[in-house]
Chains A and B, each alone.
Chain A
């Protein structure tokens, strides 16, 4: 038992690195109290090392810790997404007025970000119900605290409280679903064992439906799918921008990874034979993909329609991120590896464009202290580079070529049409037209409206601009040459134990 665990440790290096980094960041922080930035650098370094170790794991497909965690291309892909967004967030934090204003809590900030990253690393690989819950909790607890990081601001505290209450509720629901599933399958905790049990001895379909709905509630909360999204706007608005950005990308990625893995492994008919490569079918009499499809329609439609009325840019981006979760859910509904690959492609793209949009919001709010759309009036003339970058991120979010966002949408729609889900594709297409309207509202303020009387040009430092370029360039480049991300996503759609 112990020996086996020790063997597993060799495949667990990225996570171990993060765990050690967490401890180190904390220690360094409390020992060198006069230099709070030090712990942030330690944390950044630790995440970089963990990414390097993750890259070494590429291509490995293995189960570690007696079936608790899978190390497979799928998990590796999401670890890279989570890890790279964590790096971006650390870099953002170095220039965030909000974060730097509370210098004495920087230690907690850095170490909790690492803890959150660790939780997500575990989420994306968890193949055991127990591990799933534990990793969700680790991620959740760190993020609750971080959402309220600027506790002097009342909306930040409000965000934290709302987040924790909704989080507790949804985790509770999920636990309940898990326990029903546990009972139905005769005490299976491992998702492969659950699948075997469900395939060999059919269970009461209603009980299974209830269990899966409850589990969807828990995971839907993480990815902010409608109707489990209520926390999203308030938390996104109240939390520091860096944390909001991290939640909107990494947290969503981890939630999606877990959702996809759980459903694709536990609830498909693994005994079916003669299916074409890359296509799977649901369990007999339990078409959960229809639930996902309905959820995706609700999510994108509500997200887009409500976003139209927002006046706070963070709130607008919160609803837009809800809508994006809806687009990505479509990829899961079609039950094919193409759909999964499309979701993965979308995530790469989404990371760059969404982080970019939030970064611009942060830069602007550093200078103007406001996240109101009105304060973006004439931004395009006050700081053309920032304005143009924001336009690029927004048209990418709206899915227009030649930006990467178009490629993401293209592959989602392509996989839908390939599977003959025409109506869903049409709904998605109409939604992307609606989304254009609110993205363009911001663009309109930036370029079509004149700046206020006494507002001069905004100047940004060179590192800030370089960091922005790191996000703008991929957003454009992947729109014109997308072979690398598609290849990468294709190779990463492979999961442990699924052929």
Chain B
């Protein structure tokens, strides 16, 4: 699929940048034009995502073959022949998607579009805000579509700065602290990824298409083929010391993003201080990048270690689930509660991944998507109430169901989806994850199911405290949810409902790729 000779993936990635440049040229006073430009850019992006959805070939495998990738764009970006002792440096502009990335691409487009609407009432420096939001959008999309590690890393880092500003300028009272904490944590992860990336680069060579000369490469697909690892290089072999180190470095890098206990402490701060739309993006898309990185990079490149450490991953997954849920239960702050529930829910993704079988893997990726939509809803819901009451203290509310019936209705959908009520999408992905994990890590999975109970407990308890009971006089005059807010919430609610009833709409896209991923990981020698 091409438009004006440029592939659809380039368009979907760089549309926001075009929007950003346009916004920078709009005069300061014309706020409406800025908002609508941002809407246009993200809307076009969403349209492209929908087109990708319909044109996506559900049968192709992807993961480690270029043939299995779809909408591939490959161009030489950097090619330095230089002098013999340096070797040839080659970086490709290499985009492509498969069943693993397509749900994320759709999710990113969707969440970005909604985030623009959720930012309608930004009080100051709208121009900068919209520009940063769109830059962030490009960074996120780029991470999910790039198949060259160098490119992946550039996109991964491009996201940091806009996120820092979005939290730091437009955030809550402790925004500076939260922003710098987010920045430093993520950068620490990034440099570890960088080191692992360089080590991989110097271990993998591929023949040049034209001359057959072997050259180093950042091509992720080449890094997944054990035959490409040159003997004697740092990461050659199976289960060597250096491979362990590289795997752990990558793991920590991605774990900070997920976030996995004990690297999670930036998350509650960032969520609480960030403006609503940014919380939505943070929970909806950014956290997925960590697990996506593990699946796209760590698993197929280090299959033997993915097997070796699967129990450890299951263990941290269980810790995430239980710890997140317990922390959520103790929160007074609505946003913090959802932040901790995110940690708990991402634990389920990890558990599914640790299963190393098809059910678990499907559960994990499906849960990534569902968590993206459901948590986005939850944050939007908090945003709605915060805009009106200017407090997020759960105990300050009560009986809102009477004053804000429409709001309560949509909130109920989100809450029940989050606690995994059958018939809503969250249930299916959790069920798949647990089902898969039960086959591999029996005891841990049983412990993890305790998390479901806890989740139900804190979700219902919160629902009760906020919406049921005696109406609080103070909030009697709160207006109900308005059209714009409904417009952001309803599509997500519809997706949650539809996927709960007919999950194959999304599962079909990813099944063959994830099956193949499991095969690839399983085929890697077991230590």
Contact = CB atoms under 8 A, between A and B. Distances in A.
Interface of A: 276-279, 336-338, 341, 381, 391, 395, 400-402, 406, 410, 413-414, 417-418, 420, 422, 425-426, 429-430, 432-433, 436-437, 440, 443-444, 447-448, 481-483, 486-487, 490-491, 493
Contacts of A482: 78
B257 to A, nearest CB: 15
Contacts of A481: 77-78
A278 B85 CA distance: 5
A341 B195 contact: no
Contacts of A410: 194, 198
Interface string B323-364: 000000000000000000000000000000000000000000
B84 A277 contact: yes
Contacts of B83: 278, 337, 490-491, 493
A437 B184 CA distance: 7
Contacts of A338: 85-86
B234 A440 contact: no
Given A338-B86, A417-B195, A447-B168, 5 more contacts: A422-B242, A448-B176, A486-B89, A490-B80, A491-B82
A459 to B, nearest CB: 16
Contacts of B168: 444, 447-448
A408 B273 CA distance: 34
A68 B84 CA distance: 30
A443 B160 CA distance: 14
B301 to A, nearest CB: 16
A417 B199 contact: yes
Instruction: Tell me if B's interface is mostly helix, strand, loop or mixed.
Output: helix
Contacts of B179: 444, 448
9 closest residue pairs by CB, A with B = A278-B85, A429-B191, A490-B82, A277-B85, A401-B154, A448-B168, A401-B157, A417-B198, A414-B198
B169 A437 contact: no
A418 B232 CA distance: 12
B367 to A, nearest CB: 30
A402 B156 CA distance: 10
B80 A483 contact: yes
Interface residues of B, number: 40
Contacts of A381: 125
B523 interface: no
Given A338-B86, A490-B80, A448 B195 contact: no
Contact of A433 (B79, B187, B198): B187
Interface string B155-187: 001101100110011000001100110011001
B118 to A, nearest CB: 22
B184 A433 contact: yes
B180 A400 contact: no
Contacts of B201: 414
Contact of B234 (A277, A420, A429): A420
Contacts of B82: 486-487, 490-491
Contact of B160 (A400, A417, A418, A420): A400
A406 B179 CA distance: 21
B169 A448 contact: yes
Contact of A414 (B125, B154, B192, B202): B202
Contact of B154 (A337, A402, A429, A443): A402
A403 to B, nearest CB: 10
B164 A402 contact: no
Nearest to A448: B168
B302 to A, nearest CB: 17
A413 B194 contact: yes
B122 interface: no
Contacts of A429: 191-192, 194-195
Contacts of A483: 78-80
Contacts of B234: 417, 420
B153 interface: yes
Interface of B: 77-80, 82-86, 89, 125, 153-154, 157-158, 160-161, 164-165, 168-169, 175-176, 179-180, 183-184, 187-188, 191-192, 194-195, 198-199, 201-202, 234, 242, 245
Contacts of A341: 86
A440 B161 CA distance: 10
B169 A430 contact: no
B153 A401 contact: yes
Contacts of A400: 157, 160-161, 187
A276 B85 contact: yes
A425 B179 CA distance: 27
A488 to B, nearest CB: 10
B198 A402 contact: no
* Interface-centre pick from B175, B191, B195 (highest chain A CB count, 10 A): B191
A148 B154 CA distance: 43
25 contacts: A276-B85, A278-B85, A279-B85, A336-B85, A400-B160, A401-B154, A401-B158, A406-B154, A410-B198, A413-B195, A417-B198, A422-B245, A425-B198, A430-B191, A433-B184, A440-B180, A444-B176, A447-B168, A448-B175, A481-B78, A483-B80, A486-B80, A487-B80, A487-B82, A490-B86
B157 A406 contact: yes
Contacts of B199: 417
Contact of A436 (B89, B125, B184): B184
Contacts of B175: 448
A421 to B, nearest CB: 11
A278 B184 CA distance: 36
B34 to A, nearest CB: 15
B161 A395 contact: yes
A413 B200 CA distance: 13
A486 B199 CA distance: 19
B85 A337 contact: yes
A308 to B, nearest CB: 12
A437 to B, nearest CB: 6
A436 B158 contact: no
B183 A436 contact: yes
A426 to B, nearest CB: 7
A241 to B, nearest CB: 26
B233 to A, nearest CB: 9
B269 to A, nearest CB: 15
A483 to B, nearest CB: 5
Contact of A417 (B89, B169, B202): B202
B192 A440 contact: no
A381 B184 CA distance: 24
Contacts of B78: 481-483
Nearest to B157: A401
A447 B191 CA distance: 25
B1 to A, nearest CB: 25
Nearest to A436: B187
Contacts of B202: 414, 417-418
Contacts of B188: 430, 433
Contacts of A490: 80, 82-83, 86
A458 B314 CA distance: 56
A86 to B, nearest CB: 28
A391 B132 CA distance: 13
A447 B169 contact: yes
Contact of B183 (A413, A440, A493): A440
Contacts of A433: 184, 187-188, 191
A336 B176 CA distance: 43
Contacts of B245: 422
A426 B193 CA distance: 11
A430 B190 CA distance: 10
A402 B187 CA distance: 14
Contacts of A444: 168, 176, 179-180
A9 B194 CA distance: 48
B283 to A, nearest CB: 23
A35 to B, nearest CB: 42
B158 A402 contact: yes
Contacts of A391: 161
Contacts of B158: 401-402
B456 to A, nearest CB: 39
A337 B86 contact: yes
B190 to A, nearest CB: 8
